[in-house]
Amino acid sequence: MPPSIEIQPLLLRVADEDPRALADLYDATVRYAFGILRRMLWSAEAAEEVAQEVYMQVWKTAGSFDPKRSSAWSWLALLTRSRAIDRMRAEGSYRNAVDDLMRREPLSDPPLEPSGHPHQEAAASERAELVRAALGWLPGDQRRALELAFFGGLTHREIAELTATPLGTVKTRIRTSMLKLRERLGPELER
Amino acid sequence: MNETTRMSDDHFHDLAIAHLLGELDTAREAEFRAELIRRGAPGHATLRELRETLGDLALAVAPAEPPPSLRARVLTSVGAPVSAPELPPARERSLWPWAAAAVLAALTVGLGMWTARLADERDRLRAAVDQLEERVAAADSAKERLAALEEDLDLVGAPRSAVHGLVGTQAFPQAGARMFVDPATGRALLFAYDLPVLGPDELYELWAIGAEGPRAAGVFRPDDEGRARLEIPDPELLRDVQTLAVTVEPAPGGEQPTGEVVLSSGRS
């Protein structure tokens, strides 16, 4: 469901302190948010705790969401990533998570799990497939740098140290991969 | 001494990506915000496109099913209805009696486990409260930093502000700095970048050089990435200035420059 226009009204209703909207938003997005957290965090328990923090923060800060600046999904995804990085740094699980990330298969590969919401999953699956295909077009070093920055929570400089690569090269790889993804994914969908 | 240096698109993209990933420190965030203001609508459009690209990237991970108890915890805490979401209709209604019996049996066996789990849950919630209190303290600190950043942004982004560029000398060609001066208030900030790393007993010192010679205008140390921010303590120091220069000096700095010149506004 995330890459659809449907969650924006939910988020706007959450901003109006409508608790039922939070329940609907949770049902529509939690599998995706939890997927991000499981990708980034070392333990399932930590992912569960951070997921709770994420939706509590959604409840408290949905008023700061501005549809002109961001889609609802991107707002939620970046908030989720931010809370996960807070946890990684607080627990010192950062390096372990990065090691794990380095060992994982690239993001162009993982399959979607089955879901109880077939029509919603279909829309998400379609967009996710596009993204994975676009990632598959990236050279390995660019994709790896982007994954380490986004899912590993590493700064450009930390990636340079970890991969023994000049800082300028890391910046170029991340920038180039972002611009290529943007180009391949085409105009922003209404989300 | 006004100088306007146009930021390259590559540099702007790097800053925008780092901004979205939460990597920028105060000085670079100020630099990014100033450039975003300068670029106007196209700059904001680029930022949005990059943000959406990151949102797409997040979608590429495999979705994962959280524990069912999470939903109740989240929704209870905000007073939302906890009733379960609509599930697909059962395929075999004839299984209902067996299912009901199984549920009853599970409930009986599970009551003891449930009690233990509630105790665990209580402990976890207490820990979560402790953690939230720590975060409130961190948020207060962040608010203070944000207020300072906004003050910087007011200066950096104000159209009336004068901008003076300092470039690296021959030995330090990669280094540079910009000084923003508000002519109305006299407030002045120096943002330097790509400065060489210093020894523990050294620091950088800014000199405002006029007809009467150099005046010490503040000392600073860069961060690990060679970036630094210096607020000029007294606007009078910049009166009738002809040249700005930065030298390496022994700590804690002095009244006259003695060390090597690293940056200079290039005028004399």
ipTM confidence score: 0.86
Instruction: Kindly determine whether residue A56 and residue B50, on different chains, have CB atoms separated by under 8 Å.
Output: no
Angle between helices B26-59 and A19-40 (to 10 degrees): 90
Instruction: Kindly determine whether residue A23 and residue B80, on different chains, have CB atoms separated by under 8 Å.
Output: yes
Residue with the bigger pLDDT between B140 and B74: it is B74
Mean pLDDT of B138-153: 77
DSSP assignment string, chain A: --SSTTHHHHHHHHHTT-HHHHHHHHHHHHHHHHHHHHHH-S-HHHHHHHHHHHHHHHHHHGGG--TTT--HHHHHHHHHHHHHHHHHHHHT-HHHHHHHHHHSPPTTSPPPPP-S-HHHHHHHHHHHHHHHHHHHHS-HHHHHHHHHHHTS---HHHHHHHTT--HHHHHHHHHHHHHHHHHHH-SPPP-
Instruction: Kindly determine whether residue A185 and residue B51, on different chains, have CB atoms separated by under 8 Å.
Output: no
Which range of A116-125, B54-63, B81-90, B134-143 scores highest in mean pLDDT? It is B54-63
Which of A4, A54, A178, A183 would you mutate first to test chain B, the one with the most B CBs within 10 A?
A: A178
Which residues touch B213 (CB under 8 Å, ≥6 apart)? none
Mean pLDDT of A11-23: 92
Smallest CA–CA distance from B16 into chain A, residue: A175
Inter-residue contact A14 to A62 (CB < 8 Å): yes
Share of chain B above pLDDT 70, in %: 78
Cβ-based neighbour number of residue A9 at 10 Å: 14
Rounded CA separation A37/B61 (Å): 10
Hey, is B64 helix, strand or coil? coil
Residue with tokens 């995330």: A2
What's the pLDDT at B80? 72
Rounded CA separation B27/B146 (Å): 12
Inter-residue contact A153 to A84 (CB < 8 Å): yes
Mean pLDDT of B5-21: 90
For B91-137, write each residue's pLDDT tens digit: 444 445 545 545 544 554 455 455 455 655 665 676 676 667 667 77
Interface check for B128 against chain A (CB to CB < 8 A): the answer is yes
Residue with tokens 């004068």: B162
- Model confidence, pTM: 0.58
Q: Is the per-residue pLDDT at B86 higher than 60? A: no
Cβ-based neighbour number of residue B159 at 10 Å: 6
Inter-residue contact A140 to A106 (CB < 8 Å): yes
Cβ-based contacts under 8 A for chains A and B = 173
| Mean pLDDT estimate for chain B | 80
Q: Is the per-residue pLDDT at A131 higher than 70? A: yes
Q: Is the per-residue pLDDT at A115 higher than 60? A: no
Rounded CA separation B164/B192 (Å): 12
Contacts of residue B50 in chain A, CB cutoff 8 Å? Answer: 178, 182
For B193-210, write each residue's pLDDT tens digit: 889 888 888 999 999 998
- CB within 8 Å of chain B, chain A residues 14-73: 19-20, 22-23, 26-27, 30-32, 34-39, 47-49, 51-52, 55-56, 59, 69-71, 73
What's the pLDDT at A42? 74
